[in-house]
Amino acid sequence: MSPRFEAAGQAYPPAQISLLAVKDKAILELWAEPENQLPVFIHSYKIKALSGRAGPKLREGDRQVPEGIYKVLGLNPNSSYHLSMKLNYPNAFDLMHAENEGRTEPGSDIFIHGKAVSVGCLAMGDRVIEELFVLAADMGYENINVVIAPSDPRVASLDIPEEPLWVSGLYEEIAEEFMKYQQGQ
């Protein structure tokens, strides 16, 4: 990973990064977050597999990749999917809306992992998860933000489904977060 950061003029390991996932394009972007500077694009990865469609994850077993703003909670070197990084889905936002709607099982165990199969996770393939896993270990996984969007709001406004009503607010937050990351700023 060090050569990728050096090519972008960034120190390795970085203090903070963001991973931006775009579901409809199956792309995961890696951005360095230098202190008191604009984010710097480092690399783009093809997501090997992700399941579901546009829209948030609502329940356990729906095979839907969630949408929102997440953190990495931990690293699993003994994953069934080679290596994995656990996301904090459901986060407070997801839990609040599940509770308001009477959904008792909003899902769990969402990861960025290796292999090329997904039932709600971002499957990156083994080589890519090795790069991301080592990066997370080198810099501290708690310094990683993950933003998952149905499409890229930097290209076109997100299509807001009619249901559930709260998705419009979620998509505004996702779009606002994505706008911080512009190549060639």
Of 103, 106, 76, nearest to 91 by C-alpha is 106
Decide: 62 and 51 in contact? Cβ < 8 Å. Answer: no
Q: Which is catalytic among the residues 43, 82, 97, 113?
A: 113
Q: Which is catalytic among the residues 43, 82, 97, 121?
A: 121
Structure token digits, residue 141: 């996984």
97 is an active site residue: no
Report helix, strand or coil for 86: strand
113 is an active site residue: yes
Q: Using DSSP bridges, classify how beta strands 27-32 and 17-22 pair: parallel, antiparallel or unpaired.
A: antiparallel
**What beta strand segments (E) does 6-140 contain?**
17-22, 27-32, 40-46, 68-76, 84-87, 111-113, 122-123
The catalytic site residues sit at: 113, 121
